[in-house]
Structure 1
Amino acid sequence: MTAPGTTWFPPPCDEVMMLPAGREWDAVRTSTAVAEWAFEFLDDSRENSAAIMDAVRGCVYWLMPKGVATRASLTSWQRLRPHVTLITGDPAEHYVGVPPSHRRFGAGLHWRIPRNWSGRYLAHPYQLAAFLAPAVIHIHGPEALTLICPVCDQEVDRATAVKITGRHHPNDPAVSQLTVHPACARTNRKATR
């Protein structure tokens, strides 16, 4: 069964077309090194999708259903910056070079088709973010992921972050140590420095 908004095909043409992100789909861009590591796991996943390889710029693009990534917890994409970029139509128009569906090899823009391809050109944002996070850590190290405060969902500077004892979610039965902003720690009055 195909999820809503996951059916899209490249335009029937023989040349690369510059298409705007945010109209029919959004895009995610990362380096070839991060993508190659992620491909090792994405290729074996059930709902894998094609990706656009740009060897000239050393990057890879995945297209995703329009608006799904921004409606989802933006936290997963924020954590991956600057190594992974979410490209939407907001606030300005961004274009992505989309090769014809038959172009699957070569030095120019082409589609990378996974081993057990699902036939889809649009990726699942949640699954893609889940596979890109460990790929970023593998290529760039554990400090590469942006630290997000679980209290306010904003980026935390590691140099000023403090530890508190609390729950990730109000319904979470387990209390654990959380890394938060100093202001969030004062608000919760549970700072354990």
Structure 2
Amino acid sequence: MKFLNVASARSARLLAAGLALNLLTACSTVHNQTVGAAATFVPVTPRAGYATVYIGRPFTFHTSVFALPIEVDGKRLTSLPPGQYATVELPPGRHSVGSPNEYWTRVISGVPHPAEFVVEAGKSYYLLPKRWGEDAGYSYTMVGSVVVPQRTAVAHSTFSVQAAAANDAPPPEFRQLNSAKAQ
């Protein structure tokens, strides 16, 4: 009888740990916050002498539910939630778009690296998040008497840049995004 109680207690601990993990996972994955509102991405023709830059943040399995601060040329543009995009017009020349290298930004998306690119007047530029990991390894946690391995790595992030003529179709990821409100 004692063996059953020990096994039942161990099973209960594993079940509780599994439920806690499921609850944490459920809290960290929230689908597009504009449910019910159809995304209506419509690219605009840039003003004469400028380019239009669209910065998108599609919701994927590794997207944080927290808004990500976005800077253009080191100046704050907006705080971009998942499922939305921001637009900025830039003059021709070299520009950078990224997130500030701060603690909270590293928590949200990894170590940020600004995307640097040259803008040409009359074109549209589409920026989408890009992530990668370095120094991959494992950490181990004991749950009762069970060893649970977890893959670890240092996360890094930037934006991929796609240039297009002003009247070209946007990347498909933008069709699911809604315009972010100006901040």
Range of TM-score over shorter length: under 0.3
TM-score normalized with structure 1 length: 0.21
Would you tell me which structure has more strand in proportion to its own residues? 2
Report which of the two structures shows the higher radius of gyration computed on alpha carbons: 2
